[in-house]
Amino acid sequence: MARASSRRNQPQVSQQAMGRVHPVTFLREVVEELKKSVWPTRQETTRLTAVVIVLAVTVGFLLGGLDRLFSVLAKFVF
C-alpha cells in the first residue's frame, strides 16, 4: 500500500508569510546593506582596471597568435 503524501498535512501559507516585503522597506534595507560595503579607493579601481585591460589585450594576442598558427598548420597539412 502506498504512503500518503506528507504535503497534505502542511498548512496553507499566505503570501505575506512567504517573505513579501513592502518596496519602500526593501529599498531602505538595500541602502543599509550598501553602507556596510567596503568600496575600493580610486587608486585601487584604477590599478585593477589597468590589470584587466592588460590581461585582456595579452589574452587577445595569445589567442590571435594561436589562431594564426593553427590556420598555417591547417593549410600546410591539407
Q: Where are the domains of the chain?
A: 40-78
Model pLDDT for residues 7-45, shown as the tens digit of each residue: 566 666 565 556 788 899 999 999 999 999 998 999 999
Residues composing the chain:
78
**pLDDT value of position 11:** 60
Answer yes or no: pTM beyond 0.75. no
Closest CA to 68 of 60, 36, 20: 60
Model pLDDT, residue 54: 98
Grid cell, residue 25, equals: 522597506
Portion of the chain with pLDDT greater than 90, in percent = 67
The mean pLDDT of the chain is 86
DSSP letter at 19 equals T
